[in-house]
Amino acid sequence: MHALSHGTTSTPITIAVPPSLSLPVIEAAFPRQLHPYWPKCQEKTRAWLLEKRLMPADKVEEYADGLCYTDLMAGYYIGASDEVLQAIADYSAWFFVWDDRHDRDIVHDRPVAWRRLRDRLHAALDFPGAHLHHEDSLVAGFADSVLRLYAFLPRTWNLRFARHFHAVVDAYDREFHNRTHGIVPTVDEYLRLRRLTFAHWIWTDLLEPAAGCELPDIVRKHPAYRRAALLSQEFAAWYNDLCSLPKEIAGNEVHNLGISLITHDGLTLEQAVTEVRRRVEKSITEFLDVEQEALRFADDLADGTVRGKELSAAVRACLSNMRNWFSSVYWFHHESGRYMVDSWDDRSTPPYVNNEAAGEK
């Protein structure tokens, strides 16, 4: 199936989606949007990656735009102020670079380097101001992005974000252990861990600065709101697994829903692909149902008070962006050079990564 894409140029291009990965409901029912600040955001994130030494200059020049990291965020956090979107986009770019470092530490058997980074990230999350000039550029870049994100909402939001990201770092540590020991988690174990390694609650937390409003627990924990948030993230994680399953099987990976289904449920590869796709499609259908319930909840919040009106508008903005996440994730997987494995010289080594152990010189 083909559809017009924003891509990374000013001229729309036509992207061909392989039939096995095509989701007509996304292309029909989830119109793609892009934040008007996106071109400037892309330019500034590229400069930030250079300034913070997160990618070598030659790799930034050749690969940064084509990786589409800013496209992903600019298609998600619609309505955010330019400053908020820029902070989120830089943080997201950092997240991908961190994910690559984690992967390289596993591939090159660098457990000491990984544990050092893990501990430094925990420390930087609690005291970002003290880590802005850290020797490891990944730690310094993280501190910079976190400090900027902390500036938008009250301390209560910051503490929640920190709590959620501490859990993400710990989950990456469990994935490091599983991959280095060849442990394939069961389906249930994998689903629980995936919610953390994909940072479900981090991306959901960031809906709030994008909406300009911290949501109280009674709103965030409302069943319809929480379910809609979870489904939007589950879709993204499982669609990522669907797209990357052949590559990860070839690379002897252990962290993929399809691989857990094959290993522990006895499915064939074809059956596993069918089951992952079924879950992906079910997450879309269930979101469309719960979205209506969550919108009714937003209406109920508008009780005639100023606060009620503010919360109602914020919930509607967050729900709208949960919906945007579906289309943004979908097209990202077919535009980003991160997934164009067949074009790499070495399928086991992404051309945009730095294979050296960092922060040790």
What span, in angstroms and rounded, lies between the C-alpha atoms of 150 and 156? 10
- Decide if 198 is catalytic: yes
- Respond yes or no: is residue 127 known to be catalytic: no
Task: Return d(Cα 361, Cα 316) in angstroms, integer.
Answer: 48
Active site (annotated) includes residue 96? yes
Catalytic member of 96, 160, 227, 277: 96
Contacts of 145 (CB under 8 A, 6+ apart): 87, 90, 91, 94
- DSSP-based three-state secondary structure for 302: coil
For residues 125 and 127, give the distance between their C-alpha atoms in angstroms, rounded to a whole number: 6
* Kind plus residue range of the DSSP H or E element containing 137: helix 137-149
Please state, in angstroms and rounded to a whole number, the distance separating the CA atoms of residues 39 and 269.
40
Active-site entry in 101, 194, 323, 338: 338
Catalytic residue, from 30, 142, 161, 198: name it.
198
What is the sign of the dihedral through the CA atoms of 81, 83, 84 and 85?
positive
Pick from 336, 333, 340: which is nearest to 68 by CA? 336
For 156-212, give the DSSP string. Answer: HHHHHHHHHHHHHHHHHHHHHHHHHHT----HHHHHHHHHHHTTHHHHHHTHHHHHT
Residues 95, 142, 165, 297: which is the catalytic one?
95
Which structure tokens are listed for 166?
A: 């501490």
Give catalytic residue positions.
95-96, 198, 338
